[in-house]
Structures are given as structure tokens and as C-alpha cells.
Amino acid sequence: MTPQSTLIPAVSQRLNRFVQGQHSQAMELGSETELLLDAAAHAVEGGKRLRARFCATGWSAVVEGNGGPARELPSSLVDVAASLEIFHAAALVHDDIIDNSDTRRGRPAAHRALQETHGERGWVGDADQFGRSAAVLLGDLLLAWSDDLLEDGLDDVPVARAVRRQYAQMRRDVTIGQYLDVAEEAAHVTAPDDEHPERAIRIATFKSARYSVEQPLLIGASLAGASETQRDALSRFGLPVGLAFQLRDDVLGVFGDSVETGKPSGDDLREGKRTLLIAYTRQALPTGPRRAVDELLGDPSLDAGQIEALQNTIRSSGALNRVEADIARYAHEADRALSGAALGNTAVGELRDLARAAVTRTA
């Protein structure tokens, strides 16, 4: 049995035990605290466990590459992989507040669910403000939990310092990336149009590509005691896969089926996301149509007809084809990075499978 086949059950079980332990510690703090803990437990449920899977495969690639067996997952790896999933949950909670997203995975986003609970319990004050404030603190609590679980996994681990350093880099990257995403919605007007694609890639790199793929790989590799050569190969694989992953996410944010994505179709258009898809579209349009796109983009009240019109404009501009070509190019670049690397063959095969799944997904 390979690490990949046992990872998701192991991570899910570890998360359940951890959350139950947090509940037990807070039992005496009242029903209001229980509401926050229930929201936290809900936030870490489900998902693709993508970051945990890349972390575990980075670990097994190094272990196998160094001639060791990687059949069983050590508890330290399960803890570290699970901590990444909690970190991801925190990022999603904060992201939904920033983006004013109402849904996540087909259910109310955390701040909307907390807002609804405020009303259901008959509490006083502004329910919307309560939902947002409580969700900010929920995200902060999840960040603290991710640190707690990471430290559980690193107890008595010789390479703990290297893992912590990589984890800290991931946290800094995604925070800066989130800020750049927010800033770009306001700052894009001050940059020449020909710079917009580069700016969009910069956001994608820090907000998602590094934290979704490259950093989890390197965290797992650090836990296995990777050499610089092994880390370099995994980094050269992970960054382009992460970029392809984010560009696929951008395409789904505009053209995805809401039944599969769990979010309304065209939601990125309502949120005004300045993605590579939009940068390419604007580059291809003359002044009048470009101005029309700018006026519609970011309007939360866009109806189905306006969304369809924007989708047609993006397609006809050639932007969608350009992004699809970029996705294919990044995927090819990643595949080449693994050729001849000092990594285990079985794990390399799993890395390629994970990359294909990340790039071709429909949700």
C-alpha cells in the first residue's frame, strides 16, 4: 500500500482527533465559544487534501530517492500534512471575507453561516458585522491550530528547524499574495496595460502557486531531510504546477459549472478578480470594449446575461485559448523538471498524477 492510498484517511482521522481535543478543552466556555469551534470543525471538513498530498509525496520522493522505504506514513508527516489542511481552511475563511463570497463548496461561506446563526439565536446588533468579525477570528483561530498541530508533528524531530523555516515562508508568501490580490483591484489603473499579465502572474505565484504546491512539497521534503539538489528539483516542478493550478482555478472562476465548483458561475467576474484571463482579454480589445469590460468587472449585481456577455467577450478575444496554452506550457515545464531527478520513481509517478489532476480538474 502506497503513502498516497493511506494519506487522506490518516489526515482526516488526525484532524478529527485534534478538533475533538480542542472541543474538550473549551467545554466550559459556553455555547458562544462552541459556535466558533463548530465553525472551525466545519471549515476543515472535506476538500481535495491537495496540500497534504503534495506534502506527503514530497516526503516519499526524498525517502525513496535516498534508498529508503516509504510504505508507511510516520505520525510526524501526518501531523504536518494535517496542519497544512488547517492552514488552507484558515486562508479560505479569510479569502471569502475579502472577496465578499457568499458560498464555499456549495454551502454558505463561514461569515455568512455565522451571520445566519446570529439571526437564528435572536441576538442583537448587526448580524452581517457579527458574521464578518467572528469569521476573521475564526480564521485566526485556525491559523493558531495549524501552528499547534505542526508543533505536535515536530516534537523530537531532528529536522524541525528546516520544516519550520519552510512553513514560515509559506505563511508569509500567501499573506503577501492575498494583499497583492486586494491591491490589484484598485492599483491596476495606474499600471500600463502591457504590464497587467506580469502583475497577474505575480499574484498567482504568491497567493496560490507557491502555497498550494511548491511549499507543501518542500515542507514534506524538509521533513525527509532533502538535499539541496532534491529540493531544487521539487521546487522547479512545484512552482509551474502551482501556476497551472491557479490558472485552471481562474478559468473555473469564470466558466466553471456551479454544480461542480460549489460557487456561482462567473463569481470571479462579480468579485472583480484581475486574473491573467482578464489581462489577456483587455490586451486584445480596442478602447471601447475594454472600457465596457472594466465597467462591468467587479459589479456584485451582475446578472446571468451580463455574465454570459463577459464570458463571450473573453472567449472571442482569444484570452481563454492563451491561458489554456499557458497551462499546458507550465505542465510541460513541471514534467521536465522531474526527469533525472534524485527522487524515488514511484513517488515521481505520483507527483505526475497529482499534477495532471490539479491541472485538468473541473472543480
pLDDT at 69: 77
pTM (two decimals): 0.94
Per-residue pLDDT, 1: 40
pLDDT digit string (tens) for 260-319?
Answer: 888 888 989 999 999 999 999 999 999 999 999 999 999 999 999 999 999 999 999 999
Overall number of domains in the chain: 1
For the stretch 43-80, pLDDT in tens is: 999 888 999 999 999 999 999 999 987 668 899 999 99
Do residues 270 and 300 make contact, with C-beta atoms less than 8 angstroms apart?
A: yes
CA distance 219 to 225: 10
Averaged over 13-22, what is the pLDDT? 95
Residues 178-210, buried b or exposed e (16+ Cβ, 10 A)? bebbeebbeebeeeeeeebbebbbebbbbbbbb
pLDDT at 172 exceeding the cut of 60: yes
Contact status, residue 293 vs residue 281, Cβ threshold 8 Å: yes
Q: How far apart are alpha carbons 316 and 171 in whole angstroms?
A: 38
Q: What is the pLDDT of residue 354?
A: 95
Q: What is the CATH number of the domain that holds 264?
A: 1.10.600.10
Instruction: Write 156-164 long-range contacts (CB < 8 A, 24+).
Output: 157/76, 157/223, 158/225, 159/222, 159/223, 159/225, 162/222, 163/80, 163/219, 163/222, 163/223
Tens of pLDDT along 66-120? 998 766 889 999 999 999 999 999 999 999 999 989 988 889 999 999 999 999 9
pLDDT tens column, 212-270: 999 999 999 999 999 999 999 999 999 999 999 999 999 999 999 888 888 888 989 99
Exposure of 341 in the CB half-sphere (CA atoms within 13 A): 31
Range of the structural domain that residue 267 is part of:
3-360
The candidate with the shortest Cα–Cα distance to 101, out of 181, 218, 23, 26, is 181
